[in-house]
Amino acid sequence: MRRMALGTGLALLLAACGGPSGTQVQVSLVDGLDNPIQATAAAYRVGSGPFQALSPTGLGQYRFTVPSGENRYTVVFRCPFFGTLASQVQAVSYELTLAEATSFKARCPLAYAGPEANLNQTDDNTSGQDFAGGVGQAYSATLVAPLWDEGGDGRVNDLPNFFRVPVGQNREVAIFGQIGATYYFGRALVNVTSTTTGIPPIAVSPVGGSFATTDPALAHLLGKEVRIFLGSGTTFPRPSSDPGDLYELVSFSGAQGRLRRVPGNALASPVDTAPPSLSFSPSVPTPGAGSLPTFHGLTASGFAGTRPLKGYLLALNWTGAFWQHLVGQGVLGAATSYALPDPTGVAGLEALKPTSGDFVNWRAVALGLDRTLSQVLGARPIPQYIGGLFFDVLNRHLPLDLEAAEASGFYTQP
């Protein structure tokens, strides 16, 4: 009898502590510089159950439990906006299986929560290279701007008076430009406070190396925080061989594309940038009044064996609102239709549904990756997003080889 009592007591203790009754999911909500930020509202559901409000356990930290017997969940965040965009509605959401991810970072693409310093010192001579007769640019995590001649001395080596850098330790500021056929590059890590108006001069040197790609591409250098455009074509300057840097190469063929991020010390020339040949033809019928849409034809083929289909990025955009949603292939299984989850019954998320008469653009992107979703979503974000391709999964700082096919359309909300 005593042995039974001890067993019963242990079971009760485990149950009180949560015990082995489920799997905990941990999500960190961050801005483009990996700073934790608080959602305007958040919700989650288990399986196909009802959405429940999700409160943070700390700044930007959200946690919930998927009970034993369930293997998928959905989590939704309404992102905060700042400054002139404060009235906008933006949401990011994910429906994944436990095998796809149990701990990751949800990134709000257009939000930056921290203060910035305005480096407005006049005639600062920050660039060690004079770009008179050429073109020079200055880069920070949040801004790209041309160098100026502020002193009227004919030397184009000054930061413009509107140049901004995030406040913090070891912030990256870079200079990149071209005079004739010669490229120049330099950068520094600087400590910035809210009252900083200038930084020490940055040594800038000629770029001696170059690399090629097999197919035309858009190329960027991704530093610790900066994204530097290197040009388009098949031949590019190679400013850095630092293993912490990534070379980002994007090639397109119609509505299909390939994105590669290669470490600076592993860049072999030529880099294979051949775009994929994929098959993907989804559709979105006009939903009923008061309803969110269902995506049909979510089946894609033609992905390379090393870059299998991992899921779909789905997005809605209407006046004043943007919502991006990632659904893992493990959730869909053999299904080819997917109804966008409706969390609008949760307080604070009511605006995540178009109203009657709204013109709604939809997008669907099939993703083939050489990484697991957990690896990609767990990586830190890149502060500057990729033009129109600013989906969360694409914008993480890690080596990657990705194939994608995109489709889009529109409807008027009944």
Q: pLDDT tens digits for 155-173?
A: 999 999 999 999 999 999 9
pLDDT tens digits, 143-157: 999 999 999 999 999
Higher pLDDT, 110 or 319: 319
The helices-and-strands tally (H runs, E runs) of the chain is 3, 26
Which is nearest to 340 in space by CA: 360, 318, 315? 315
**Mean pLDDT for the stretch of residues 37-44:** 95
**Mean pLDDT for the stretch of residues 354-370:** 96
CA 181 to chain centre: 34
Q: Which of 95-99, 233-237, 388-392 has the lowest mean pLDDT?
A: 388-392
- Distance, in Å, from the CA atom of 263 to the CA atom of 178, rounded to the nearest integer, reads 23
The two three-digit tokens of residue 268, written as one number: 């072999």
**Mean pLDDT for the stretch of residues 302-322:** 95
- Distance, in Å, from the CA atom of 340 to the CA atom of 95, rounded to the nearest integer, reads 10
Find out whether 226 and 172 touch, Cβ atoms under 8 Å.
yes
Q: Is the dihedral of CA 377, 337, 304, 277 positive or negative?
A: negative
Tell me which H or E stretch contains 373: helix 373-378
Asked if residue 390 has pLDDT above 50, the reply is no
Asked if residue 14 has pLDDT above 70, the reply is no
Which is nearest to 376 in space by CA: 391, 389, 395? 395
- Distance, in Å, from the CA atom of 79 to the CA atom of 59, rounded to the nearest integer, reads 14
- Distance, in Å, from the CA atom of 229 to the CA atom of 304, rounded to the nearest integer, reads 28
Backbone angles phi, psi at 115, to 5 degrees: -75, 160
Find out whether 114 and 81 touch, Cβ atoms under 8 Å.
no
3-state helix, strand, coil in the chain (%, to 5): 10, 45, 45
Beta strand 135-139 with 144-146 is antiparallel
Long-range CB contacts (< 8 A, 24+ apart) of 263-270? 263/399, 264/221, 264/240, 265/241, 266/399, 267/211, 267/238, 267/241, 269/210, 269/211, 269/212, 270/211, 270/212, 270/213, 270/214, 270/234
Give percent of the chain above pLDDT 90: 85
pLDDT band at 6 (very low <50, low <70, confident <90, very high): very low
Which pLDDT score is estimated for 394?
Answer: 77
DSSP 8-state assignment for residue 83? G
Asked if residue 187 has pLDDT above 60, the reply is yes
Residue 36 CB: number of other CB atoms within 10 A? 15
Which pLDDT score is estimated for 3?
Answer: 40
pLDDT band at 113 (very low <50, low <70, confident <90, very high): confident
Find out whether 157 and 147 touch, Cβ atoms under 8 Å.
yes
The two three-digit tokens of residue 44, written as one number: 């989650």
CA 409 to chain centre: 23
Beta strand 294-295 with 52-53 is unpaired
pLDDT band at 80 (very low <50, low <70, confident <90, very high): confident
